[in-house]
């Protein structure tokens, strides 16, 4: 086997790169169904020892994935894809999206004879299954938690996939109920200009994305990185805890802002046709 940490891309011909790409990617409905069923089995194993809230969340996620398989089986899909085209599916608290993607083979890097790295240059949505959203009261009943504890978690920014409709919070059925301790990296994206931006944060208004990280030495200090589409580079800002909580509460509540933390893209097959590559 080759050294995965330092692969010489010139060792591969076009045909060999395509063979590795094809062996790893989702090229058919059957590949996707096989992978989703593996994901469902992995989630089912987590049910053992889970508390009531987590058990209901995991069980519902399994049902949601089963619904995805059912709808996918009733969706028109290509029987055979052209070279460098593949399917991928994205799971988040917003739901599941099935996409058809294309890669520029010149920008696909071979990691090993069983893996590659690349970013699609073309993406089409094939199927979009949105998750149901619930009020605080409905989510409390669904998870077995109290309304007070959920409201407290919302104030502390623990349910980043929640958003507001008017003055009322909405929480996805696919929002993980167990709020993690401590601060985790916050990642947000918005495709349109934002309104009602807090005065101190006017610089985030235009479409773009933002990352918020906690300081390593001072836990009450946070670094905000903001980048706008069409502009070269981005800019950094230092926030204290009060400023961070104010900004993050605005971003979470705004339905135009998408939280990227819980988004997971499945673009590689778990069960691959192992092939022999040039070493």
Q: Which residue has the tokens 């060792």?
A: 11
Look up the pTM and report it. Answer: 0.83
User: Domain range for residue 177?
Assistant: 132-181
Whether 34 and 120 share a structural domain: yes
Looking at the structure of the chain, the number of domains it has is 3
Q: Are 200 and 243 in contact (CB under 8 A)?
A: yes
On whether residue 20 sits in a domain, the answer given is yes
Helix (H) or strand (E) holding 88: strand 85-92
Task: Please state, for a pLDDT cut of 70, what percent of the chain lies above it.
Answer: 92
State the sign of the Cα–Cα–Cα–Cα dihedral 36, 42, 47, 53: negative
The pLDDT score that the predictor gives to residue 45 is 94
How far, CA to CA in Å, does 88 sit from each of 66, 124, 187, 249?
17, 10, 21, 31
Whether 89 and 187 share a structural domain: no
CATH number at residue 171: 1.10.10
On whether residue 269 sits in a domain, the answer given is no
On whether residue 2 sits in a domain, the answer given is no
Helix (H/G/I), strand (E/B), else coil: 60: helix
Average pLDDT over residues 18-47: 95
Whether 193 and 249 share a structural domain: yes
The pLDDT tens digits of the residues spanning 90-138 come to 999 999 999 999 999 999 999 988 889 999 999 999 999 999 999 999 9
pLDDT higher than 60, residue 7: no
Give the whole-angstrom CA distance, residue 109 versus residue 116.
Answer: 6
Whether 216 and 241 share a structural domain: yes
The pLDDT score that the predictor gives to residue 170 is 93
């Amino acid at each position: 086997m080759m050294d995965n940490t330092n692969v010489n891309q010139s060792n591969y011909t076009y045909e060999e790169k395509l063979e590795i790409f094809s062996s790893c990617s989702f090229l058919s409905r059957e590949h996707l169904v096989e992978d989703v069923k593996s994901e469902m089995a992995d989630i089912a194993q987590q049910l053992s020892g889970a508390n009531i809230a987590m058990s209901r969340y995991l069980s519902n996620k399994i049902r949601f994935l089963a619904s995805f398989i059912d709808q996918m089986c009733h969706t028109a899909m290509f029987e055979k894809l052209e070279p460098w085209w593949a399917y991928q599916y994205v799971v988040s608290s917003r739901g599941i999206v099935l996409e058809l993607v294309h890669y520029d083979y010149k920008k696909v890097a071979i990691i090993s004879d069983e893996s590659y790295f690349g970013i699609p240059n073309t993406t089409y949505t094939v199927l979009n299954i949105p998750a149901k959203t619930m009020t605080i009261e409905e989510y409390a009943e669904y998870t077995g938690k109290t309304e007070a504890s959920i409201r407290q978690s919302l104030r502390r920014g623990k349910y980043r996939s929640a958003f507001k409709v008017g003055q009322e919070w909405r929480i996805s059925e696919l929002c993980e109920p167990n709020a993690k301790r401590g601060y985790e990296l916050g990642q947000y994206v918005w495709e349109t200009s934002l309104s009602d931006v807090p005065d101190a944060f006017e610089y985030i208004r235009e479409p773009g994305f933002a990352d918020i990280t906690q300081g390593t030495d001072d836990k009450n200090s946070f670094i905000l990185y903001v980048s706008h589409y069409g502009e070269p580079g981005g800019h950094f800002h230092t926030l204290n805890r009060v400023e961070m909580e104010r900004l993050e509460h605005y971003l979470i509540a705004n339905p135009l802002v998408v939280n990227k933390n819980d988004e997971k893209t499945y673009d590689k097959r778990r069960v691959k046709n192992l092939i022999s590559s040039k070493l």
